[in-house]
Structure 1
Amino acid sequence: MMARSWIGMLVVLLFAVSFYEGSCVPVQAKESWGYVDVRDGAHMFWWLYYANSSSASYKELPLVMWLQGGPGGSSCGFGNFEEIGPLDRDLKLRETSWVRAASVLFVDNPVGTGYSYTDTEDALTKDVAMVASDMMVLLKKFFSLKTEFQSIPFYIFSESYGGKMAAAISLELTKAIQAGSIKCNFAGVALGDSWISPIDSVMTWGAYLYSTSLLDDTGLNEVYTAAKAVMEAVQQGDYLKATDLWSMIENVVEQNTNGVNFYNILTQNSDEMVKSSADQAADGFLLALKRRHIRPLHRQSLSELMNGPIRQKLGVIPKNVTWGGQAEDVFVSMAGDFMKPVVDVVDQLLAAGVNVTVYNGQLDLIVDTMGQEMWVKKLKWDGLQNFNKLKWTALEDPQEQSQTGAFYKTYKNFAFYWILKAGHMIPSDQGPMALRMLKMVTQQE
């Protein structure tokens, strides 16, 4: 185990405008990566890009950790090559890469996600508490290894289920810093289209779809009836049943909307996502959920990239590990935790003085903005009343002059960004606006 740990912590440094030896992958920033053994039989992979800005050194810019959703979505894969990394999945420069404004740390989290892996299924995480515990081990080793980042403002940005994990991780990190076990300058957490209160999302699906002319009266009634069943299971504390019923309401939504895309209501599902209701019923609820919410994060072109040129470039991935090979197992292992809310965790963060940002895409269904606003209104935070009284401020779209790209509102240590013309994956849909938001949250604008 000790030998593997040393190999896992191997650091590989590359420099700008170069090519990795033996690989066709261009490098546009100084990089580093490795494994951390977070538990016996549990190995977590991380990949760091140092900020690549023409106006400032990385020591003058923040460090951002990006957490993907699922659970089972790969930050090092999807977040990196589909959203905010320096290169897209065609290995072309991304003009809106977050590396232009921050050093970015991608972590394949929980273990079993992406290049992270476990030796046995028993080592997979079961809930966000276990996820947060693993991340504390990784962050402690990361900041011990990369001492230059200990004083640099550190932010956690997240997407979807990654937001639920980010909230729990942020609370444990705050405690660890206070206890002196982790040395870092934690500056805030940003929850993007995040699964903070699943039932608030589910209960607003009908109203959102109806208001956008994607449901008729009959469909609205069917969706609302199915949503009530999910709510009853949550109220009874039967979260595995709630996850099962959540899969069923998704079927109801698809049948009544001619297969609306849960990630962006104005786009079509890919062919691999379209199945008959009979086939969906035969799948069983967990398989149906994996099909909808895990497999799109592992589309064939991305899998070929990650298991081909990127794997070759990194040079530290064990032979028996396939990128995304355990992703669906991760989702199944976390199924009992999936529908549990973490609104109370956000309240604890705010009470502890942590800077919390919520941001959401206008066209997202699965975590619709209406649902986000509902759980925000349930916060016990003492600044909520004053926050609610504020009027939002419009932000110009960086791509289109005189066009509104977003609205935002901030009070004390809480902020909310409403991102227009974006779905669940905001940086993919509205890259320039997402980059501007990053700069504002990290106090560069």
Structure 2
Amino acid sequence: MGSFRVDFTLCFLLSVVLSKGLPSALASKEAWNYVEVRDGAHMFWWLYYADSVQAQYKDLPLVMWLQGGPGGSGTGFGNFEEIGPLNRDLEPRKTSWVQAANLLFVDNPVGTGFSYTDRPDAYATNVSTVASDMLVLLKHFFSEKPEFQSIAFYIFSESYGGKMAAAISLELTKAIAQGTVKCNFSGVALGDSWISPLDSVMTWGPYLYTTSLLDDYGLADVSKAAEAVKQAVEQGQFLKATELWSVTESAVERNTNGVNFYNILTQSSDEKLTSSAGLDFISLQKHRHIRPLHSQSLSQLMNGPIRKKLGIIPENVTWGGQADEVFTNMAGDFMKPVVDIVDQLLTAGVKVTVYNGQLDLIVDTMGQELWVKQLKWEGIRNFNELKWTPLDDPATPGITGAFCKTYKNFAFYWILKAGHMIPSDQGPMALQMLKMITQQA
């Protein structure tokens, strides 16, 4: 396990980033460390203390952010591209969540980002192992940082991170009841989350067709590919279903001339489509989904100045270097749903929030609404009967930025003009949603 470190953002920026001056308001306290969650499996976390002019950090919640993939790095992408205090150019982010919360980024599963394994058999192969690994990390974290034990703790997630967040939340709830983890767990937020993969895949065709991105021929082609995924899932052939999921993505790409899975108003480049030809489904997954989270400029930042700043990254570990292995080992679990886990969380009284971007394709809102309506939680009928409430966009008052609906411990936010990465696409609205979920607004 690496030694415990505390630093200050301003010191780093002055000493490492070649005289790039920044205002003193960014001099917020940070901490980071490694935890060996299993023999040969090392997980990295990075904490930013809240930096608010209205409140002390102890008066604001702690938010753990989990990235997707699996294999996407929260300490990299979520931090520097979405919600951290600085962007990838190390400039202050106006909509950073540190204004309203303490932020804990974790690179999980092991092998993601700066997390690493010592041997091939140490990777996680399912969300159960992902959850048990995270429980070890959280136990260490709250022991090392006891000041956070009483602070409201929320898990926020994106994409496959939502599937992991659901499983982690259930195990954390049990651990708290058993007294093995001391924290004030207050809720989980599932953003554009891979909770019911089949519902997402089966709605790709209809969603693209109704938005004029598929013609009749294209709809038939995509629907045929999606049906093959459905058959594999129904037969319990989940590794085959993952392979056929990739085939369905290829059908989408060729019939839409490369629509971007993360935002339907944008398009993948011809170079990307051409260079993906002939790749196996694991390589295709990295090409379509992991590579955007590990762009060249972000990799240079993480493996250069950030690595130097942190000072505890082993010499043989490259940020994002094990991403392929992470997905490969999780491929058999990838298409399995966790709707039942969400049901268990709601029944246990855990505050659950679903939020989704209007323009997302990979986890389209149509698919999210399907699995939500299938919940067995006793409050789902009352929830479905409610009308949603429009929310003003904080950046443009008077213009609707989202809709929301809440019943007891369940809430759904429909974020307008946003794709898969909501904080990147609609930063002010995402920050407002965070405050509403954590009851600051």
Distance across 2 between alignment mates of 1:235 and 1:9: 47
Structure 1 residue 13 corresponds to structure 2 residue 7: yes
What corresponds to 2:391 in structure 1? 395
Distance across 1 between alignment mates of 2:382 and 2:413: 17
Is contact 1:22-1:313 (8 Å) kept? no
SS at match of 2:34: strand
SS at match of 1:274: helix
SS at match of 1:338: coil
Q: Deviations over 1:351-402 (max 9, x none)?
A: 1000000000000000000000000011000000000010000001111121
Is contact 2:83-2:97 (8 Å) kept? yes
Change (3 A) 1:272 1:325: farther
What one-letter code is carried by the residue in structure 2 that aligns with 1:59?
A: K
The offset of 1:28, in angstroms, is: 3.6
SS at match of 2:113: coil
Distance across 1 between alignment mates of 2:177 and 2:54: 34
What corresponds to 1:268 in structure 2? 267
The number of residue pairs the alignment matches comes to 435
Is contact 1:42-1:123 (8 Å) kept? yes
Structure 1 residue 120 corresponds to structure 2 residue 119: yes
What corresponds to 2:52 in structure 1? 53
Distance across 2 between alignment mates of 1:192 and 1:79: 12
Change (3 A) 1:147 1:111: same
Distance across 1 between alignment mates of 2:138 and 2:247: 38
Choose which of 416, 420, 440 in structure 1 pairs with 2:416: 420
What corresponds to 1:23 in structure 2? 16
Distance across 1 between alignment mates of 2:185 and 2:244: 38
What corresponds to 1:41 in structure 2? 40
Distance across 2 between alignment mates of 1:114 and 1:169: 19
Distance across 1 between alignment mates of 2:144 and 2:247: 46
What corresponds to 1:308 in structure 2? 304
What corresponds to 2:438 in structure 1? 442
What corresponds to 2:342 in structure 1? 346
The offset of 1:330, in angstroms, is: 0.3
Structure 1 segment 353-368 matched on structure 2, within 5 A: 353-368=349-364
Distance across 2 between alignment mates of 1:268 and 1:230: 24
What corresponds to 2:74 in structure 1? 75
Distance across 1 between alignment mates of 2:310 and 2:14: 10
Distance across 2 between alignment mates of 1:286 and 1:346: 28
Distance across 2 between alignment mates of 1:228 and 1:439: 40
Structure 1 segment 13-412 matched on structure 2, within 5 A: 13-14=7-8, 17-19=10-12, 22-24=15-17, 28-270=27-269, 273-275=272-274, 280=277, 282-412=278-408
Distance across 2 between alignment mates of 1:301 and 1:181: 41
Aligned residues with identical type, % of pairs: 73
The offset of 1:20, in angstroms, is: 5.5
Q: Deviations over 1:307-357 (max 9, x none)?
A: 000001111111110000001110111000000000000000001000000
What one-letter code is carried by the residue in structure 2 that aligns with 1:45?
A: F
Distance across 1 between alignment mates of 2:285 and 2:121: 21
SS at match of 1:265: strand
Distance across 2 between alignment mates of 1:422 and 1:273: 23
The offset of 1:273, in angstroms, is: 3.0
> Structure 2: 5+ residue runs without aligned partners?
none
TM-score (norm 2): 0.97
Q: Deviations over 1:74-102 (max 9, x none)?
A: 00000000000000000000000000000
Is contact 1:33-1:46 (8 Å) kept? yes
Distance across 2 between alignment mates of 1:13 and 1:354: 34
What one-letter code is carried by the residue in structure 1 that aligns with 2:44?
A: F
Change (3 A) 1:272 1:442: farther
Distance across 2 between alignment mates of 1:19 and 1:164: 34
The offset of 1:18, in angstroms, is: 3.6
TM-score (norm 1): 0.96
Q: Deviations over 1:101-148 (max 9, x none)?
A: 000000000000000000012101000000000000000000000000
Distance across 1 between alignment mates of 2:271 and 2:83: 25
Is contact 2:3-2:312 (8 Å) kept? no
Moved more, 183-192 or 264-273: 264-273
Distance across 2 between alignment mates of 1:347 and 1:272: 43
The offset of 1:270, in angstroms, is: 4.9
Is contact 1:49-1:104 (8 Å) kept? yes
Is contact 1:114-1:327 (8 Å) kept? yes
Is contact 1:9-1:36 (8 Å) kept? no
What one-letter code is carried by the residue in structure 2 that aligns with 1:19?
A: F
Distance across 1 between alignment mates of 2:101 and 2:428: 15
SS at match of 2:45: strand
Is contact 1:115-1:317 (8 Å) kept? yes
Distance across 2 between alignment mates of 1:350 and 1:201: 22
The offset of 1:21, in angstroms, is: 6.9
Q: Which structure 1 residue ranges, 4+ long, deviate > 6 Å from structure 2?
A: none
Q: Deviations over 1:266-285 (max 9, x none)?
A: 11225663326xx53x2111
Distance across 2 between alignment mates of 1:210 and 1:9: 54
SS at match of 1:53: coil
> Structure 1: 5+ residue runs without aligned partners?
none
What one-letter code is carried by the residue in structure 2 that aligns with 1:55?
A: Q
Distance across 1 between alignment mates of 2:272 and 2:307: 27
What one-letter code is carried by the residue in structure 2 that aligns with 1:326?
A: Q
Distance across 2 between alignment mates of 1:191 and 1:109: 16
SS at match of 1:407: strand
Change (3 A) 1:33 1:272: farther
